[in-house]
Amino acid sequence: MKQSEIKELSTAELQEKLGETKKSYSDLKLAHAISPLENPIQLRTIRRTVARIATELTKRELQ
C-alpha cells in the first residue's frame, strides 16, 4: 500500500486497516517460522505497510 493511498483513507478506515495488516503480518510470521515462505520479502513489505499506516495515524493525532 502506497503512502498516497493511505492519505486518502479516513482515520477509522486506517485504524481498521492497521488491525488487519498487523494480523496478516503475525500470521505470515508464524507460517514462516513453521516452514519457509515461498516469498519471504512479503514480511518486509507488510511490516513497512504497518509502519506507514501507524505513522499517518500519529501524524493525524498531532494535528
Per-residue pLDDT of the chain (63 residues; tens, 9 = 90+): 899 999 999 999 999 999 999 999 999 999 999 999 999 999 999 999 999 999 999 999 998
Helix (H), strand (E), coil (C) string for the chain:
CCHHHHHHCCHHHHHHHHHHHHHHHHHHHHHHHHCCCCCCHHHHHHHHHHHHHHHHHHHHHHC
Q: What is the per-residue pLDDT for 45?
A: 97
Q: What is the per-residue pLDDT for 1?
A: 85
Q: What is the per-residue pLDDT for 47?
A: 97
Q: In this structure, what are the phi and psi dihedrals at residue 38, rounded to the nearest 5 degrees?
A: -65, -40
Q: In this structure, what are the phi and psi dihedrals at residue 35, rounded to the nearest 5 degrees?
A: -145, 140
**Which pTM value belongs to this model?**
0.91
